[in-house]
């Protein structure tokens, strides 16, 4: 397990930076930014751990979103009504932008006058967009389930 520690710490660092950046983008106060960073670090570490255990991207993202949402909900007294928004900011770095970009480029390639390997291009692009959709659904469900189970009425 120790050989994976640098990879986990790398994911945690960049997850924290990205989540704090989304906190700035969402106009969170300075007091909430460290919590966003912590949520992002936790989310990407859990997702990375799931993928190291050979889980799918979608399954690992679902588990990471549930764990992050539960952890942030436990800090409800410190965060107040913003706890669900902090969990969301922590999970946004898990959105698979590379898959979405590959899907868009594949679909754009199909608009050429005479696309080469149109069927293969379409299948590849469709596969990528389906992975994006299922990963987004997994993140959304992972954030919503704890909020509903823990009776957070301000979600």
User: Which has the closest alpha carbon to 64: 25, 101, 35, 94?
Assistant: 94
Pairwise CA distance, residues 131 & 142, whole Å: 16
Q: Tens digit of pLDDT for each residue in 11-28?
A: 999 999 999 999 999 999
Write down how long the chain is: 155
Residue 133: partners with Cβ closer than 8 Å, 6 or more residues away: none
Q: Percent of the chain having pLDDT more than 90? A: 74
Tell me: pLDDT of 51 over 90: yes
pLDDT at residue 2, rounded to an integer: 74
**Cα three-residue angle 148-151-155, rounded to 5 degrees:** 65
Q: What is the mean pLDDT of residues 26-53?
A: 94
For 148, what's the count of Cα atoms within 13 Å in the CB-facing half-sphere?
A: 6
The token pair that represents 118 in the structure block? 């149109």
- Residue whose token pair is 């969402």: 26
pTM for this model (two decimals): 0.88
pLDDT of residue 151: 65
More confident residue, 137 or 112: 137
**Per-residue pLDDT at 37:** 96
* C-alpha distances in Å from residue 44, one per residue of 27, 37, 151: 22, 11, 25
Question: Per-residue pLDDT tens for 86-119?
Answer: 999 999 999 999 999 999 999 999 998 888 899 9
């Amino acid at each position: 397990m120790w050989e994976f520690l640098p990879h986990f710490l790398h994911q945690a660092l960049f997850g924290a930076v990205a989540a704090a950046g989304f906190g700035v983008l969402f106009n969170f106060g300075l007091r909430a930014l460290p919590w966003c960073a912590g949520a992002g670090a936790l989310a990407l570490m859990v997702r990375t751990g799931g993928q190291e255990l050979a889980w799918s991207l979608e399954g690992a993202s679902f588990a990471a979103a549930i764990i992050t949402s539960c952890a942030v909900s436990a800090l409800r007294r410190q965060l107040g009504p913003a706890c669900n928004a902090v969990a969301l900011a922590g999970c946004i770095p898990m959105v698979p932008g590379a898959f979405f970009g590959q899907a868009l480029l594949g679909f754009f390639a199909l608009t050429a006058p005479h696309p080469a390997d149109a069927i293969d291009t379409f299948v590849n692009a469709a596969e990528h967009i389906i992975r994006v959709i299922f990963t987004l659904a997994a993140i959304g469900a992972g954030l919503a389930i704890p909020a509903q189970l823990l009776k957070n009425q301000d979600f």
